Each structure stands twice: as C-alpha cells, then as structure tokens.
Structure 1
Amino acid sequence: MHLALMVMEIVAPVFLLAGIGFAWVKLGFEYRIQFVTQLAMTLSVPCLIFVSLMQTEIDPAALTALSFAAVAAYLAVSLVAAVLTRLGRLDRRTYMAPLIFGNTGNLGLPLALFAFGETGLSYAVVVFAIMAIWSFTFGIWLVAGAGSFGKVLREPLVWGTLLGALFLWQDWQTPLFLTNTLKLIGQMAIPMMLITLGVAVARLSPGGVMQAAILSLVKLVICVAIAWGAALAFDLDRIAFGVLVLQVATPVAVTSYLLAEKYGADSQAVAGLVVVSTLMSVGALPLLLAVLL
C-alpha cells in the first residue's frame, strides 16, 4: 500500500499537468503550441540541462557509463525497430521513428525528477540529450530521407549538454547571479512541457486504434527489455538503472507526429500511436516505477 501511494505521488503531478493542457484546449482557450515548444527547446530545456549537469555531484565515471548504456540501448532499439517494420511490412518512414523515440523530454524528465530526485534528473538529461541527437540525425533521415547534421549543430540543447559536460568535467561554476538566472529559466521547462504534452494530445486525431495499441505494447516491451539489458551490461547504479529504463520506455514522442506531418509520412497513423501509447503509459509507467523503486 505504501509503495502504491508513493508511485501515485510521483506520477500524479505529471498526468495532472498534462491534464491541464488537455482541458485547456477542450475548453476552447488559445494555446500557441509552436511558440511554447520553441521557447522550451531553444531556451528553457538547454538551461535546465546545463545547470543540472554543472551542479551535479555525480561521479563523472557514472555519467559516462550511463551515456554508453543509453547509446547502446538506442542502437539496439533502432535495429529491432528496423526488423519489426520489415517483418510487419510497415512503412518505414511512418512507423520506424515512433517505435524508436520516446517522450523523454515532456514525460521522462519530470518522472525522473519526481521518482529519483535531483540526481535522477541529472541522469535523465543525459539520456534525453542522447535521444534528441539521435532523433535530429537518424530520425529525420528515416522520415525525410536526408541527414541533418547541420541541424544538430544549431540545436541549443546540444550545446547546453556539451557545455554542461565541460563545466562538470572541469569543475567550473558560473557566477551566482547567472546560475540563479539560468536555474529560473530552466525551472519553466518541466511544467511547460507537460502542459504542452496535454495540449498536443488533445489536438491529435487518432486512427487505426487496434494497430496502434498492438505496436504501442510491442514498443513498451522491447524498450523495457533492451534498456534493462543495457543497464545490467554497463553495471549501472540503482538510480541510473531506473532512469535509463524509465526514459527508454516512455511513450511515442509528439515530435514523431510533427516530423511525419512536415515530411509527408502518414501523420494520422503516428497520431494514433502518440495518443494510444500515452494513454497506455498511464497504467504502464506506474507499474514500471513500482518495480524500479
């Protein structure tokens, strides 16, 4: 009973904030999702990542092990997704990216924070950054048929991660006034992304519910199994283990829908995956947390 209450205390704020965004749209209020997303990804999230890494007291060796584990996990998930799309005769441009990339930002970061504290958040931003870089390169190639290395170099979250890692490695600190400013900007990120997640889900029109449900369940099982195996292989500590499994197991990212819409893939099929996998996560993630805690 105590464990169930603890898990509910962790996941409730996440889904309540997403619910606010969902209700906001359904009540007919305006929400400029493109502006809020740009603000979060260009300013708030990079500040959150930079300060989290700069101020972390985690052993750099532990962060390195987590980084290698995350890279290995996403490479393995990508290979399995390629096999599944081929065996299932699914359109690669439509289905492969959603099977690989999870909602590690909007959902994964706050869950890691609430479940594992500031240490968990520091670990989670590393996994998030690795997923984002893979998404902006391989993910865009999958959907658009062209690489986008230049876009990676223009992403503030990538530079926030690299600078944060540099400051962590050199044990540098920004002046206190600047640190406090960056911290305030970063604190906007999690509630803003969760509300935006609810808004985005509310505006999607799911299609092919049965196929979406099957693929969402398959994605969840595969991602948990692979992340669990990678965490064991790299001998991660308890918190890093939990964060990696939790991040990789997050539901289909809303960005997968946006990429499908932009580059002419079947965006309605992806929308169905986003909605169904997110609804499935309402039950799946608390159960996963109960095992990991």
Structure 2
Amino acid sequence: MFKADGMLLRIVSIVFPIFAIVLAGYWYGRVKKPDMRFANQLNMDIFVPALVFSALASKSFDWESYKVLAAGAAIVVLGSGLLAWPVGRLLGVNWKTFVPPMMFNNSGNMGLPLAILAFGQDALPAAVMMFLVSNTLHYSLGTWMLSPNARLWNLWREPVMLASIAGLAVSVSGIAVWEPLYFAVRMTGDVSIPLLLFSLGVRLTQADFSDVKLGVVAGLVCPATGLVFAALCVWLLPLTAGHAAMLIVFGALPPAVLNFVFSEQYGQEPQRVASIVMVGNLMSLAVVPLALYWVL
C-alpha cells in the first residue's frame, strides 16, 4: 500500500507542474484574452532553437547514444499513421483530417517538460531528439500529406532545424562552445518550456469543441497507436532502460497543436482538427499519468 501511495505521489509531482502552468495560461487567457502570436513567434524563432542547440551541443551529448532512440521515435510516428488510417475510414472521416494528428504528437509543449520532470535534467537531450524526429517528419511528410505540391524546402528555413543542424555539427566535430556563450544560450532556451505550456493553456480558451465525439475517439486512438508501436520498439530495438521508458511516454502524448496550424494553413477542416487537438490534450490528464505509472 505504501509503495502504491508513494508511486501515486511521484506521478502527481511530475504532472502537477505541467498542468498547473497550462491552467495558469488558460485562466490568464480567459481573463485578459491576450494576443499570443508575438510570444509564440519568439518562442519558435528564438527560445526553442536555443533549447535545442544547448541540448545537442552540450559536452555530454553523444549522437551515437541516441541513434536507436531516434529510430524508435520515427517508427512510433509512422506506425501510428498506419494504424490510424483504417480507424479514420471506419469513422467516415477524411484521412487528411484524422491521420496527421494521430501521428504528430505534443512532443514539444508537453513532451519536453514531462521528460525533465519524470526523468531529470539529463533526459533533455533524449527528449529533444524525439522532438526533432517528430518535428522534422511533421514539416516534411506531414506537409506533403496535406498538400503534395507544398515546397518542402521551407523545412530547412525553420530556426529549430537550423539550430539542430548547428548543435549536431558542434557535437560531432568535438568543438567546445565558449562556456559563457553556451550558458547564455542555455538560459535563453530555459524560457521556452514554461512559455510552451502557458501558450497551450491560452490556446485552450479558443478551443473548438463542436465535434466532441470525434475528439474523444481521437483522444483515445492517438495514445493507443503510439503506445502499441512504442512497446514494439522496446521489444525489438536495443534501447537502454531509460530510453525505453521515455519512448513509452512519447507514445502516450496527445496530438500537437501544430496540427491545427497546418490544417488551417492548408484548409483541411481546421474546426474538426481543432476539436481533435484540444479534446486530446484535455484527455491527456488521464492518459499521461497512466503511461508514467507503467514506466515508473
């Protein structure tokens, strides 16, 4: 009994800071109705790239140690799409509306802080690696799925991608970044995680729940498909125990908010995608603690 109580307390201590900041953003959004576009732009152009660079360029980062984890994250993303496609057909939903949110999860807003709180600061490079895999596939494959004629070259103009290339180059070359400069970049990157969560809370005030039934189904299918392939990877791939646990949590994450942004950009039923994303993130209140209980 004491062991179960201790585990429950540990899980609450992990998820509480995340959802507390999201709730604070939701409350502020309801009261002040802020325009978060500039803050979000700053986050994606400056703060998140700084976080990615500092994680990949750190002295402790070794690319060889994360190759298998990166492969596992790619399998989870692609495999989720394969399983979600027939589900979308059964529901009578356009696959372009249903499948991408099932593939591309909230590995940024929720995945990064969750990894640090659950597994410690040393887990950040692994969480960043999974985020980069998902983000790269989203901007390339995800864009192509919504619009086969889209220019995929735009992927390489994204600040996050440029920061990841620079960070990997520093790591592989063995060049040491001047310590004061590295510290400044890391401090800048530290802004990103709470701002990601706060922005998610503000975004929830604009949630579209016009298609709640589809949102609930998607809120179950997204983590279910992710967990199936995460468990398969844990069984088949030579993952370390820590990376296996992180991949399981990665598989349980809800749909990314970026799915709504893309659906709006390409005119792919944005209201239905908004319902999928927002209901899925609310349902993660129950799903994520269960995934943590599994791995912890």
Give the TM-score normalised by structure 2.
0.93
Partner of 1:86: 89
Q: For residue 38 of structure 2, give the secondary structure of its aligned residue in structure 1.
A: helix
With over 3 angstroms needed to count, the CA separation of the structure-2 counterparts of 1:216 and 1:179, relative to structure 1, is: same
Q: Which runs of 5+ in 1 are unaligned?
A: none
Q: Which runs of 5+ in 2 are unaligned?
A: none
**Percent identity of equivalent pairs:** 27
Whole-angstrom CA distance in 2 between matches of 1:252 and 1:39: 22
With over 3 angstroms needed to count, the CA separation of the structure-2 counterparts of 1:194 and 1:249, relative to structure 1, is: same
* 1:56/1:122 contact within 8 Å kept: no
* 1:137/1:147 contact within 8 Å kept: no
Give the TM-score normalised by structure 1.
0.94
2:86 counterpart of 1:65: no
What does 1:17-96 correspond to in 2, within 5 Å?
17-27=21-31, 29-55=32-58, 57=60, 59-96=62-99
Q: For residue 221 of structure 1, give the secondary structure of its aligned residue in structure 2.
A: helix
- The two structures, once aligned, show a CA RMSD in angstroms of 1.6
Whole-angstrom CA distance in 2 between matches of 1:106 and 1:192: 9
Partner of 1:3: 7
* 1:81/1:96 contact within 8 Å kept: yes
2:113 counterpart of 1:110: yes
With over 3 angstroms needed to count, the CA separation of the structure-2 counterparts of 1:180 and 1:273, relative to structure 1, is: same
Using the TM superposition, give the Cα deviation of residue 263 of structure 1 relative to its aligned residue in structure 2, in angstroms: 1.5
Cα offsets for 1:225-263 (capped at 9, x unmatched): 111211332121122112222123211111111111222
Whole-angstrom CA distance in 2 between matches of 1:83 and 1:151: 30
Aligned partner letter, 2:239 = L
Whole-angstrom CA distance in 1 between matches of 2:191 and 2:265: 27
* 2:55/2:61 contact within 8 Å kept: no
Runs of 4+ that moved beyond 4 A: none
Partner of 1:197: 200
* 2:61/2:171 contact within 8 Å kept: no
Give 1:289's match in structure 2, choosing from 270, 292, 296.
292
Cα offsets for 1:164-214 (capped at 9, x unmatched): 222222332211121111011100000000000001111112122122212
* 1:140/1:259 contact within 8 Å kept: yes
Q: How many residues align?
A: 292
Partner of 2:189: 186
* 1:227/1:244 contact within 8 Å kept: yes
2:176 counterpart of 1:173: yes
